[in-house]
Amino acid sequence: MNSNYRKYLTHPVFKVASQIVTENGSEAYVIGGYVRDLILGRPSKDIDIVVVGNGLDLAEACAEKLRVKKVSFFKNFGTAQFMYKDLEVEFVGARKESYRRDSRKPIIEDGTLEDDQKRRDFTINALALSLHADNFGELLDPFGGLEDLENKIIKTPLDPDTTYSDDPLRMMRAIRFASQLNFKIEHESLASIGRNANRLNIISQERITDELNKILLSNEPSRGFKLLYATKMLHEFFPEMIALYGVETIDGKSHKDNFYHTLEVLDNISENTDDLLLRWSAIMHDIAKPPTKRFNKKVGWTFHGHEDVGARMVPKIFKRMKLPMNDKMRYVRKLVRLHLRPISLVKGHVTDSAVRRLLFEAGDDVDDLMTLCNADITSKNDFKVRKYKQNFALVKEKLLAVEEKDRIRNFQPPVDGKVIMDTFSLNPCHEIGVIKNRIKEAILEGEIQNDHKEAFAFMLKVGAELGLKRS
């Protein structure tokens, strides 16, 4: 095993920090995620440097030599940070921590490098590289983190019950790293997460959601969600998803396990997009199947209206999860509401009218909707999947053809309310809305073209039916 990583520490920050600590006889180490990712060959966005002594002084001295103008000091926490070129560099004094049962905020005291490594969440994040010239790049690994990296194991430096109980967010981080890195969580550590799952109640929802989003953005997010379910952490903050789990059978008729179906859709969509909101739409698309589940002796299990009920559930879940309540939420809500529409077109004859209505409702999000719906085609029957996907391709072709011909996406009426008011000498009234709606419906049904001339003529016709006279 390699014990010196001198040749990898090429960033100017390391050279400058080394000069300073060597001259003043102090100790400093690059530690944590940067070292882990360096060994794994993954890119890193930040550098953490731990100083045995005052981290603020080293930060200030490094900034001066690097000609960094802005340094942020957090004296209460004993940390300082600045941006240099493409990386965020943070300096902190080595410390030891103790915790109260009701808080994840530690009581902090000055400590040694070993004290600082002991407080780290996982062995793979406790790796440190010396910055002193005498042993520059030497690996300090008291807990076998390098071996755990090679064996792809997530393990805590200390007793896992202590590590997780002290700061329960570490349990979410364990599952996040397992999902991101495709690592296994060590058996005792996994059992400990299960024992301490209810400790999540002292963690803010914002922090939980932040880790959940990182799990969602991993290459195979189902891996993380299966661990969240197995450890019962998902039960603590996402009961609606837990309700999807399981299969019920009556008279020999069963429905699919909607929990695992959802995870399959999530993995499918993750192969085609890194968009976080699209991945959330995969999580949410069938979220209302449990409350809409019914058994019919003739047809078996039904989930009628789950797309509409699901769309109504989205704002409530987003609010509780501290997810954005703006256009991002409305985007997910729209995709949930419309997710059955393209599939229904696949099943039957695709009419221009049905396609126009889908384009009208989906607008610019129609391509994302199609991505979601394509991911939603899951079956153990490969022939069935291939057939659906072939039909789905035909729907996409139809969408393109109709859009090119009728320009329905982000539909703007060719005759607006002002034209109607001027034509019939009207003040704002109910009839204007009736005429506009009739014009929209006529275009969507293909009765008239989406242009001003035909729409104006149709407006005159509808106006006459309503007893209005052209001025």
| CATH (domain of 78) | 3.30.460.10
Higher pLDDT, 30 or 383: 30
pLDDT above 90: residue 344: no
What is the percentage of the chain residues whose pLDDT exceeds 70? 94
Strands (E) across 128-204 are located at 128-130, 139-140, 153-154, 184-185
Residue 337 lies in a domain: no
How many domains, in total, are found in the chain? 2
471 lies in some domain:
no
Instruction: Tell me what pLDDT residue 471 has.
Output: 79
Domain end among 146, 180, 209: 146
Within-domain flag for 303? no
Cα–Cα distance for residue pair 15/27, rounded to 1 Å: 14
Domain boundary among 115, 146, 177: 146
With cut-offs at 50, 70 and 90, classify the pLDDT of residue 137: very high
How much of the chain, in percent, has pLDDT values that exceed 90?
70
In a domain, 229, yes or no: no
**pLDDT value for 409:** 67
Q: Which stretch of 3-12, 64-73, 152-161, 236-245 has the lowest confidence by average pLDDT?
A: 3-12
Domain boundary among 146, 162, 178: 146
pLDDT-derived band at 75, boundaries 50, 70, 90: confident
List the alpha helices (DSSP H) in 254-351: 258-270, 276-284, 289-292, 306-320, 327-338, 341-347
Check if the beta carbon of residue 212 is closer than 8 Å to that of residue 283. no
Residue pair 228/221 in contact (Cβ under 8 Å)? The answer is no
Q: Which domain holds residue 136?
A: 6-146
In a domain, 235, yes or no: no
Residue 72: inside a domain, yes or no? Answer: yes
Q: Which of 39-53, 182-196, 275-289 has the lowest mean pLDDT?
A: 39-53
Residue 111 tokens read as 């400590």
pLDDT for residue 178 is more than 80: yes
User: d(Cα 151, Cα 372) in Å, to the nearest integer?
Assistant: 36
Is 128 a member of any domain? yes
Look at residue 291 and tell me if it is in a domain. no
pLDDT at 1 over 60: no
Confidence (pLDDT) at 103: 64
